[in-house]
Amino acid sequence: MQNDDADGAWHDWLQGDDVGSYVDEEWLEGLQRIRLAIKSEGATTVTEYESTGFGGVGANGIVFSARGPEGEKLAIKMSRSDWSFYCYIRELPPSFLFDTSGHAARLQRKLGQLIGDSMLDSLVAAYREIIRQLVLNLSEWPPVDRFEWNTEEGAQVMNFGVRMPGVLATLERYAARRGADPERAGWAKRTLQLLNATSGASDLRPSLLHMNPLYVWGGAVLSGFFSDLSLASRQVGELLSARPAELETFVVQGWALAKLMQVFQIDSGDRFADFWQSACDGLNIGE
């Protein structure tokens, strides 16, 4: 796979696949007369704005019409990809809001509805980046059945990572692109077959990842929710305790995710690790 044009198209596809794909314009249009707290780059304090209307969606951004603290009219542009998660659950993070009454209860209910939802893979920027990096590395590593790792921990983390549902789904989508890039599409198909035929991460049961409360609430943590991690940790700890059959699996999946974020230098990865540690403290694992 040395064709420069094909390599460029491959990288572009990986970078763009599913990024910012979910936008709920109906919900965005309803965000009027909402007081937004926005900290400008380099600023130490937040400025209050009032949203006066939805200005539209572009390829990379979302625009709001707003009124500033002195009544001035202006447009506020925000990254489209950062808003995918907010749009999907129809909830702004507390960092944008001055009035947070009822927010915690609504958020907990909505996150509960996300358990089992594969959309998390593309809605959460950190998860998208992990999946992109893993698929990119798979294309550069030896075939899966010839993987060698320096440590047992590295083998466990990476064998779990390459079998995450989002990685398999990405490979499936590319395997279907036979007309656009037949050579790499063939590689994607062969890699899928090898991943499905080998049992490198069977003990971590990666197919259950979307059912893991740590993955769901972790997506919210990574998307700017839960300035107080103890609230998210308490909610998830209760949910994990209610699933004794999967408890240890879910906890180790969370550990592996934290390690992947460290390997790929994911923004807010340390925050996820803190959340995982706090949620798992006090759990009776292996008893």
DSSP string, 23-74: --HHHHHT--S-EEEEPPTT-SS-EEEEEEEEEEE-SSEEEEEEE-TTS-EE
Residues 6+ apart with CB under 8 A from 189: 171, 175
- Residues 193 and 211 both lie in one domain: yes
Residue 159 falls inside a structural domain: yes
Summarize the confidence of residues 36-52 as an average pLDDT.
76
- Residues 159 and 278 both lie in one domain: yes
Angstrom distance (rounded) from CA 237 to CA 280: 6
pLDDT at 2 over 70: no
- Residues 37 and 112 both lie in one domain: no
> Of 246 and 150, which is predicted with more confidence?
246
Summarize the confidence of residues 260-271 as an average pLDDT.
94
* Boundary residue ending a domain (49, 79, 109): 79
- Residues 175 and 72 both lie in one domain: no
Q: Is residue 55 very low, low, confident or very high in pLDDT (cuts 50, 70, 90)?
A: confident
- Residues 245 and 152 both lie in one domain: yes
For the chain, the average pLDDT equals 86
Residue 263 falls inside a structural domain: yes
- Residues 209 and 275 both lie in one domain: yes
pLDDT computed for residue 181 by the predictor: 77
Q: Is residue 4 very low, low, confident or very high in pLDDT (cuts 50, 70, 90)?
A: low
- The CA-atom distances, in angstroms, between 205 and each of 127, 166, 240, 247 are 18, 14, 16, 12
Residue 280 falls inside a structural domain: yes
- Residues 44 and 8 both lie in one domain: no
- Residues 286 and 164 both lie in one domain: yes
Residue 171 falls inside a structural domain: yes
pLDDT computed for residue 43 by the predictor: 67
- Residues 154 and 49 both lie in one domain: no
Residue 285 falls inside a structural domain: yes
- Which structural domain range is residue 52 located in? 25-79
Q: Which of 13-17, 81-85, 88-92, 184-188 has the lowest mean pLDDT?
A: 13-17
pLDDT computed for residue 19 by the predictor: 44
Residue 154 falls inside a structural domain: yes
- Residues 192 and 64 both lie in one domain: no
> Of 54 and 222, which is predicted with more confidence?
222
- Residues 12 and 138 both lie in one domain: yes
pLDDT computed for residue 197 by the predictor: 84
Residue 165 falls inside a structural domain: yes
| Residue ranges in the chain assigned as alpha helix (H) | 4-16, 25-29, 84-89, 103-114, 120-123, 125-140, 152-161, 165-175, 182-197, 213-222, 229-241, 247-263, 269-280
Buried b / exposed e across 83-118, counting CB within 10 Å, b at 16+? bbbbbbbebbbbebeeeeeeebeebeeebeebeeee
pLDDT computed for residue 61 by the predictor: 85
Residue 214 falls inside a structural domain: yes
- Residues 36 and 138 both lie in one domain: no
pLDDT tens for each residue of 197-252: 887 777 899 999 999 999 999 999 999 999 889 999 999 999 999 999 999 999 99
When divided into structural domains, the chain yields a total of: 2
